[in-house]
Structure 1
Amino acid sequence: MLTDNTIPYLNGFDDLHTTEDISRVLDGYQRRELAFAPWHNGGNRPVAAFSIAYGNNDIYLKYYVTEDAIKAEYSKFNDPVFEDSCVEFFIAFDGDPQYYNLEFNCMGTSRVQYGGGKHNRIFVPASLLKTIKHQTTLKSTDSGNIQWELTLSIPKKIFTFHPQLSFEKSRAKVNFYKCGDGLPQPHFLCWNNIINGEPEFHLTDFFKEVTFSPQVI
């Protein structure tokens, strides 16, 4: 759950449990819908939501998506997965004007960058991206849509430009997205609404402030 914009602490999961275990636990948390589609121009619109928690060394994130077509062309680290069926998580820590964009296609292929603005970004190296654990499930529905879920265990080391990062002591600004730039019908969903004339996720004015809840053992 993300009650009052607080990310809850999930005790006991760091380095102990599988991604499957984390997926089941996150199923019990409140799902937050990506309810806004600022540039929707008609046609079918995907449905997407997420659950989130954190541990001492990881952020745990699960996306739930239903859409009428999927694409998973890219399989290499830092490929342009936003052209596939893609979910994204942008985060800036402790007032830093620069931020991380974490992007994943429906098979879990990751693209992660850091910087200030869309065109001034540094790729997080593949050697670190390999440490992100993920689990994907896909199934067809009776209506012909495809439901897929992506569970992610994102280690603290991914945020490599913040070597002293402590989640519990941090405040952050975030937004969550669903997109598919290369799909037959491109779409752009977001958790916190964006007001802009054209599709653009790299707008920090529309990140929402969150805190990490105290660690209760």
Structure 2
Amino acid sequence: MDELNRMRKEYRSGSLKETEMTSNPFDEFQVWLETAITSGLSEPNAMIIASATPDGRPSARVVLLKELNKKGFVFYTNYMSRKGRELLANPFAAAVFDWHEIERQVRIEGIVEKVEDEESDAYFNVRPNDAKIGAWASPQSRIVRGRKELEELEKKYTTQFAGSEIPRPSHWGGFLIQPTMIEFWQGRPNRMHDRMVYYKVDKGWNLKRLAP
């Protein structure tokens, strides 16, 4: 795989200056997200979530951001999945938005908690019925005998809820990441990238620059 050694891209599309960053990282993130959306990126709300067991064994996967509010970042999942169980046992997480097409990245570290049941209900109720059935049918992250087992579970719940409203299963809902750190990364030439980091403090946020 010698070609991997030769793969290289120069980043030249932008820069970051302290004086141009907002005082609140949520406001800054909203601007960046809107830029990613208007740039036509595929699923710009996709983020990599890293969780860890209580003894520090990490795992990561891609989920979809479904809400940004004044507290943080919300996504939904099966609470009995690996990430769900790890986050409930060790409520610290890291997240990454990789918008490579526009030479940008956002990293987040913070504390995780379940959202209120009412909020999970509200989001679940606007999902397509097929997705609702999937939340019931999938024993997420568990070993199954094969695809046929999943199809049988899907058929079971499709029959069970035929002609009726599909309620949210208690094992499915939202997590809120309350950030203690948010980093905005902008690619620059010669790997001298711009890295601007907001650290949470008692009275708000401190903005610092990191070496690339």
Structure 2-normalised TM-score?
0.29
Q: Which has the larger radius of gyration?
A: 2
Structure having the higher helix fraction is: 2
